[in-house]
Amino acid sequence: MATKQSARTGSPLPGDSNRQSARTGNPLPGLSIEQLLSKESFTRSDIVTLLSVTGDQRIRLFEHSAKIKEAFVGNRVYLRGLIEFSNRCHKNCLYCGIRRDNHFVNRYTLTDEEIVSAACYAAENNYGSLVLQSGELETIGFAKRVEKLLKDIHKATQNKLRITLSCGEQEKDIYRRWFSSGAHRYLLRIESSGKELYEKLHPGDEFHSYKRRLKCLIDLQKIGYQVGTGVMIGLPFQTLENLADDLLFMKKFDIDMIGMGPYLEHEVTPLYALRHTLLPKEERFDLTLKMIAILRIIMKDVNIAATTALQAIDPMGREKAMKIGANVIMPNITPGKYRDDYLLYQNKPCTARMPTTVIHALKPA
Ligand code: 5AD
Ligand code: SF4
C-alpha cells in the first residue's frame, strides 16, 4: 500500500519516512524542524512534511503542539455528553456500519422520555453541554421531533445545557428552526474535504452529494451555529496531500470544533473489500495524533475532540490525544441497552459492556 500510494502522490507516507530519513538524514529538505514549527503560516507541503516526521522530529512536533494547547486553551477538559438517540439512517456511506443497506443492524430510536432523562443526567453531573446524534433522516416527522426535543430538554434542565446537534444534512429552513428552538452548535463532518475522495467513499446518487454537504456547512454558519466538522484518517485512497488539504479546509472555513478519528473497517460495508490497502491500525492512530497536533498549531484556540475511534485502537488513545492538542471529550451517555446498536465500526469502545464510569479515569492532560 505504502509503495503504491507514494508512487501515486510522490509524498512519503509514514511507513516510508524511515527509509527517507536513512537516505537523506532529514525528511525536512532545507529546513530544520524548529524552523518549520515556528512558521507563521503553513503550506500544503509544510503540512505533508509534518505528517511524515518520525523519531525526535515527531516528538518535537508533539511537544510544540502541547505547548500551544497549554498557552491557548489551557489544561481544561471540556465534557460533552453524547446521546446517540437513533441509528436509523437513509444514507448508505460506503464505510459506515449503520448504513441503510446493513440489514443486520437492530434499528432503534430512544423515546422522548429516555432522551430527556439522559439530558437531565448530564445537567445533574455538570456536563454543561450535550450532543444529540443520530443517523440522517430528512422527514417532516423527524424535524418536528428534534424541535420538540430541544424545547423539552431546555425546559427539563432549566436551560442549563448547551446543545449540539449532529443529525446530518437538512434543508436550511430545518436548521433554522432547530436553531430557534435552542440548538447552539452543529456537527457535520465533511469526511474528506476533497471532492474526488469524497465521491469514492459515497454512492454516486443524489443522497450523497459533496456539493450539498458543503452547502449545509455554509448554511449552518450563516444561521449562526458554532459549526463542527471533521474527517476520517487512514481511508482507502487517501494521501497525505488529502489530509493536508483537510486541515487547510478547516482553517479556511474557520471551523469552531473538529472531530477527527482513524477510519476503522466494518465487515458489513462495501469499503471492507479494500481492507488490504489500509495502513496498519497503529499508523492510522499515529497519523491521527499528528493531524490533531498540526491542527492545534495552525488553529490555536479551536476545540478539538479526542474521538472514540482513537480509543478503539489504543485504550489510552483519547488521553494521548488530549496530551498533544485535543481539549474536548464526548462521553457516551446513551442508555446502555442501545449502545451495541450504534456500531459505526467494529470494536467500538464504550458500548453496553463498558459503563460511563470510564470517564472518571480520564484526567486533564
Ligand atoms: N470508521 C471511523 N469513523 C467512522 N464514521 C462512520 N463510519 C466510520 C468508520 N468505519 C464516522 C464518520 C461520521 C461519524 C458519525 O462517524 O466520520 O461522520
Ligand atoms: Fe448514515 Fe452517518 Fe453512517 Fe453515513 S456516516 S451511513 S450518514 S450514520
CA of 67 to the centre of ligand 2 (A): 35
Q: Residue 232: CB within 6 Å of ligand 1?
A: yes
Q: Is the CB of 189 under 6 A from ligand 1?
A: yes
Ligand 1 atom at minimal distance to the Cα of residue 309 = 2
| Cα atoms found within 13 Å of the Cα of residue 158, Cβ hemisphere only | 2
The verdict on the CB of residue 98 being under 6 Å from ligand 2 is yes
What's the pLDDT tens digit per position in 276-325?
999 999 999 999 999 999 999 999 999 999 999 999 999 999 999 999 99
Q: How far is the CA of 363 from the centre of ligand 1 (A)?
A: 25
What domains, with CATH codes, occur in the chain?
71-361 (3.20.20.70)
Residue nearest to atom 2 of ligand 1 (CA): 263
**pLDDT by residue, tens only, the chain of 365 residues:** 333 343 334 343 343 333 343 344 456 667 889 999 999 999 999 999 999 999 999 999 999 999 999 999 999 999 999 999 999 999 999 999 999 999 999 999 999 999 999 999 999 998 989 999 999 999 999 999 999 999 999 999 999 999 999 999 999 999 999 999 999 999 999 999 999 999 999 999 989 999 999 999 999 999 999 999 999 999 999 999 999 999 999 999 999 999 999 999 999 999 999 999 999 999 999 999 999 999 999 999 999 999 999 999 999 999 999 999 999 999 999 988 888 788 888 878 766 544 343 333 333 32
Long-range pairs, 1-9, Cβ under 8 A, ≥24: 1/276, 1/277, 1/278, 1/279, 2/279, 4/277, 5/239, 8/239, 9/239, 9/240, 9/241
The single-letter DSSP state of residue 225 is P
Distance CA 217, CA 297 (A): 23
Predicted TM-score of the model (pTM): 0.90
CB of 249 sitting under 6 A from ligand 1:
no
